[in-house]
Amino acid sequence: MKKFFALICAVVMVASLAACGSASQTASSAAASGSAAASGSDAAKFVMLDEPISTEQYGIAFKKGNTALAETVKGALDEMLADGTFATITDKWELSDMSCYEEAQVTTPDGTEEIPAVDSRNSLTLGFDAEYPPYGYKDDSGNYVGYDIDLATEVCSRLGWTLNLQPIDWDSKDMELDSGNIDVIWNGMTMTGRESDYTWIGPYVDNSIVLVVMSDSGIASAADLAGKAVITQSGSSALTALTDDPGDGSNDANLTLAASFSTLDQTPDYNTAFMNLESGVDDAVAVDIGVANYQLASRNG
pLDDT at 43: 79
Whole-angstrom Cα distance, residue 112 to residue 173?
20
pLDDT at 301: 75
Residues 141, 248: one domain? no
Given a contact cutoff of 8 angstroms between Cβ atoms, the answer to whether 274 and 299 are in contact is: yes
- Binned at pLDDT 50, 70 and 90, residue 204 comes out as very high
Report whether pLDDT(293) > 80: yes
Report yes or no on 34 lying in a domain.
no
Report yes or no on 19 lying in a domain.
no
pLDDT at 17: 36
Report yes or no on 94 lying in a domain.
yes
> What does DSSP say about strands 105-107 and 144-145: parallel, antiparallel, or unpaired?
unpaired
Residues 173, 272: one domain? no
pLDDT digits (tens, 9 = 90+) for 69-88: 999 999 999 999 999 999 99
Bigger pLDDT: 139 vs 2: 139
Report whether pLDDT(122) > 80: yes
Q: What is the sign of the dihedral through the CA atoms of 157, 85, 190 and 209?
A: negative
Report yes or no on 7 lying in a domain.
no
Report whether pLDDT(1) > 60: no
Which of these three, 206, 232, 265, is where a domain ends? 206
Evaluate if pTM is beyond 0.85.
no
Report yes or no on 173 lying in a domain.
yes
Residues 187, 230: one domain? no
- Binned at pLDDT 50, 70 and 90, residue 42 comes out as low
Residues 103, 198: one domain? yes
- Secondary structure (H, E, C), the chain: CHHHHHHHHHHHHHHHHHHHHHHHHHHHHHHHHHHHHHHHHCCCCEEECCCCCEEEEEEEEECCCCHHHHHHHHHHHHHHHHHCHHHHHHHHCCCHHHECHHHCEEECCCCCCCCCCCCCCCEEEEEECCEECCCEEECCCCCEECHHHHHHHHHHHHHCCEEEEEECCHHHHHHHHHHCCCCEEEEEEECCCCCCCCEEEEEEEEEEEEEEEECCCCCCCHHHHCCCEEEEECCCHHHHHHHCCCCCCCCHHHHHHHHHCCEEEEECCHHHHHHHHHHCCCCEEEEEHHHHHHHHHHHHC
Residues 170, 243: one domain? no
Report yes or no on 41 lying in a domain.
no
Given a contact cutoff of 8 angstroms between Cβ atoms, the answer to whether 284 and 230 are in contact is: yes
CATH number at residue 287: 3.40.190.10
- Please list the residues that pair with 189 across neighbouring strands: 59
Which residues span the domain enclosing 247? 46-52+209-300
Non-local (6+) Cβ contacts of 91 within 8 A are none
Number of domains in the chain: 2
pLDDT digits (tens, 9 = 90+) for 238-282: 999 999 998 999 999 999 999 999 999 999 999 999 999 999 999
Report yes or no on 105 lying in a domain.
yes
Non-local (6+) Cβ contacts of 254 within 8 A are 53, 54, 241, 242
Backbone torsions φ then ψ of 19, nearest 5 degrees: -65, -40
Cis? peptide before 203, omega within 30° of 0 = yes
Residues 165, 63: one domain? yes
Report whether pLDDT(153) > 80: yes
Which of these three, 206, 233, 262, is where a domain ends? 206
pLDDT at 193: 86
Report yes or no on 187 lying in a domain.
yes
pLDDT-above-70 percentage for the chain = 86
Whole-angstrom Cα distance, residue 8 to residue 188?
80
Residues 195, 216: one domain? no
Residues 290, 176: one domain? no
Residues 246, 121: one domain? no
Residues 232, 198: one domain? no
Residues 85, 97: one domain? yes
Which of these three, 165, 191, 206, is where a domain ends? 206
Backbone torsions φ then ψ of 133, nearest 5 degrees: -70, 145
pLDDT at 44: 83
pLDDT at 112: 96
CATH number at residue 121: 3.40.190
Report whether pLDDT(206) > 60: yes
Identify which of 191, 219, 236, 199 has the alpha carbon closest to the alpha carbon of residue 277: 219
Amino acid at 165: L
Identify which of 116, 125, 106 has the alpha carbon closest to the alpha carbon of residue 60: 106
Burial class (CB in 10 A: 0-12, 13-18, 19+), 62: buried
pLDDT at 41: 52
| Mean per-residue pLDDT, 172-187 | 96
pLDDT-above-90 percentage for the chain = 82
Residues 60, 197: one domain? yes
User: What average pLDDT is seen over the chain?
Assistant: 88
pLDDT at 37: 35
Whole-angstrom Cα distance, residue 260 to residue 262?
7
pLDDT at 30: 34
